[in-house]
Amino acid sequence: MSEPMRLMAVHAHPDDESSKGAATMARYTAEGERVRVVTCTGGERGSILNPKLAHDETILADMPAYRRREMAAAAEALGIEHVWLGFVDSGLPEGDPLPPLPEGCFALVPLEESVGALVREIRTFRPHVMTTYNELGGYPHPDHVRCHEISVAAFHAAADPEQYPQAGPAWEVSKLYYDVGFSYARIEAISTAMHERGLVSPFDEWLERASRRPERTVTTRIRCEDYFDRRDEALRAHATQIDPDGFFFEVPRDVEREVWPFEDFELAESRVPVELPEDDLFAGLRRLVA
């Protein structure tokens, strides 16, 4: 038997893994592949976004510990492995002018330190493929932008034995992808289908704003509708961040399965020949590994 393929998904905060590429990860683990999520921060500065828990004193007393338990439950729902990179949430700065980021937070840690930490995880797990965020962070949270920066740097550094020699033997990751969870085509298709059924779409405002921005290039679509339930279970596990009656659950699942049974990715770099479009993050690799 050939060894399992290995996928590493690098995320900024606990809950990001459940809203970006979760059904794809659940599919691959169900098929016998190994998937490891690396979470850069503990989400310590996250607010309670679920109004049902907004005044829960137990959570407010120890938010970091609560979010760790949520992450463990989400990992179990998806069948993934999980590690913490160990940095502190930067928080989302608000105001005009924006306040400075808190001292010692992830976005201010010297790149050499945070890249080195991720290089160690790459060389330990030896993934064939990595996923992370694009250069905009998916959205401009300082931790998401930093997550992109260290992921790209570590993708290159992990393959170079002269960089971070203390982090273990060099390992070359074959492919790097960006999550494109909110591709314009996906949101437009789902929104249109909801209007055709006489339903209110949660995406109308988003589509108006998105029409004025350049669209990301989707190179890879993973069919994963059989794993939407596991994705939803993982989302609900992050109870402080996800309202079970809120945004993530406003699209009926039968509509989503019919109209867009995929998750979308953008191939950023590849060290193996590829043929686009793809329907597998491991495309071009399975025979090489076998």
Is residue 71 within 8 A of residue 18, CB to CB? The reply is: no
Residue pair 42/85 in contact (Cβ under 8 Å)? The answer is no
How far apart are alpha carbons 290 and 286 in whole angstroms?
Answer: 6
Is 16 annotated in a binding site? The answer is yes
Residue 55 assigned to a binding site: no
Is 144 annotated for ligand binding?
A: yes
Query: How, if at all, do strands 81-87 and 34-41 pair?
Result: parallel
CA-to-CA dists, residue 51 to 112, 184, 242, 244, angstroms: 39, 29, 9, 10
SS3 per residue for 236-265? HHCCCCCCCCCHHHCCCHHHHHHHCCEEEE
Which H or E run contains 155?
helix 142-157
Q: Cite the annotated binding site for Zn(2+) by residue number.
A: 13, 16, 144
Annotated binding residues, written as ranges, equal 13, 16, 144
